[in-house]
Amino acid sequence: METMKTLRLLAVMTLCALPASARAETRDVSLKAPDGTSLKATYSSPGKPGPGIVLLHMCNSQRKAWTHLAELLTAQGFHTIALDYRGFGESGGGSLDGLDPGERRQFVQEKWPGDIDAAFDFLVAQTGVDRSRVGAAGGSCGVDNAIQLARRHPDVKALVLLAGGTTSSGEDFLARSPWLPIFASAAADDGTAVDTMRWLVGFSSGALNRLQEYPNGGHGTEMFAVHKDLEPAIVSWFDRHLVKSPVHVSASTTATPGPSARQSAALREPGGAARVLEEWRAAQKAGRTFPLAPEATVNALGYEYLQTSRVTDATGLFELNVEAHPASANTYDSLADAYLAAGNRAKAVEFARKALDTLSRDKTTPDDFKQQIRESAEDKIRLAGSGSERR
């Protein structure tokens, strides 16, 4: 009995003598970006070896949006780091306010990857972090940041993506990485976020992917306050794919493009929009889910074709958008642009007027963009009515 008491006492003394770094902790840290900019982040350790998670906030938010999820992840044995992007929260680097869209895009593309890599490097350098098992979560603009982090770092082996899109390079990466498990989520009251997430996940053919849809809840990490099951589901997701059944990437893994990747390729073929439209109509008639490309994606491709004189293909893309998104005033205005480019003034005026008529009922387009659509449609009506060519 005395021996047992002695062993217990030694165990307690040993535990108390452990260095602070071996205990669960949360602390704010200062990081240096490649150009020397000071960045702020919050690092949490469970006090024992485990995988790491990088948390990337929305562009109307900051790192504190992840505080509760980080607590849950740490309690489950994960090391986490939540970063304030430069220009947000407590990070330096200047504000993005006042930048036009082109300047903002350049700022993000040139600066943020190095900033996020600095947070990643800090995380995997911490005692106990298994750098071969890292996950990343992103909300809104953080979705692309998380995908791009995984593209740059093969150690990222699981993604959580909340209500955001990605670039063509991100789409290509997902199509080539069916082994990468994706948990995606969005709410139906968040504009076209559900359709966007369905389209994004559809670039991967991975069998492990999961799309969690909610009828309401707002944008990105705002859903945490409404749906109390979401954060625990994310913790379980990372636990499953980084702990219980870790992902193993094999050089022999076949990268079969997912349905979105195949459709994206089809939309770029001559006459492809018409074929996709027929497939969508057939799916609608049969009551099947069809992950159609988001309105903004199709619209952007249509204008790309107008600029390269592929007017017929641009018209087909805009026609697809009009039928798939009849409540969007912008779809009619874009189709009017295509008809004007084709020299069909009557059709241009017809669809410009439809754009104006739809504006008052359009519930998803922001007011400032509605004004742009109004001016664009009225401009076309004046130009077509006067017989002038639109330059």
pLDDT at residue number 6: 40
**Are residues 292 and 362 both part of a single domain?**
yes
Boundary residue ending a domain (244, 259, 290): 244
| pLDDT tens sequence across 69-93 | 999 999 999 999 999 999 899 999 8
pLDDT at residue number 5: 42
What is the domain-level CATH number for residue 326? 1.25.40.10
Task: Find the range with the poorest average confidence among 6-20, 53-67, 244-258, 304-318.
Answer: 6-20
What pTM was computed for the model?
A: 0.82
**Are residues 206 and 294 both part of a single domain?**
no
For residues 117-125, give the mean pLDDT: 98
In this structure, is residue 334 part of a structural domain? yes
Q: Yes or no: say if 146 and 162 are a contact pair by the CB < 8 Å rule.
A: no
The residue length of the chain stands at 391
| pLDDT tens sequence across 188-215 | 999 889 989 999 999 999 999 999 999 9
For residues 244-255, give the mean pLDDT: 76
**Are residues 338 and 376 both part of a single domain?**
yes
| pLDDT tens sequence across 327-351 | 999 999 999 999 999 999 999 999 9
**Are residues 103 and 163 both part of a single domain?**
yes
Q: What is the dihedral of CA 9, 14, 16, 20, to 10 degrees?
A: -170
In this structure, is residue 198 part of a structural domain? yes
In this structure, is residue 189 part of a structural domain? yes
**Are residues 147 and 48 both part of a single domain?**
yes
The pLDDT confidence band at residue 256, using thresholds 50, 70 and 90, is confident
In this structure, is residue 325 part of a structural domain? yes
**Are residues 307 and 356 both part of a single domain?**
yes
In this structure, is residue 182 part of a structural domain? yes
Q: What percent of the chain has pLDDT over 70?
A: 91
In this structure, is residue 341 part of a structural domain? yes
What is the domain-level CATH number for residue 91? 3.40.50.1820
The pLDDT confidence band at residue 11, using thresholds 50, 70 and 90, is very low
Count how many domains the chain has. Answer: 2
In this structure, is residue 180 part of a structural domain? yes
**Are residues 52 and 184 both part of a single domain?**
yes
**Are residues 292 and 357 both part of a single domain?**
yes
Return left, alpha or beta for 28; rule: phi > 0 is left, psi -120 to 50 is alpha, else beta: beta
**Are residues 102 and 174 both part of a single domain?**
yes
Q: How far apart are CA 330 and CA 318, in angstroms?
A: 10
Domain of 293 in residue numbering reads as 268-386
Q: Yes or no: say if 245 and 226 are a contact pair by the CB < 8 Å rule.
A: no
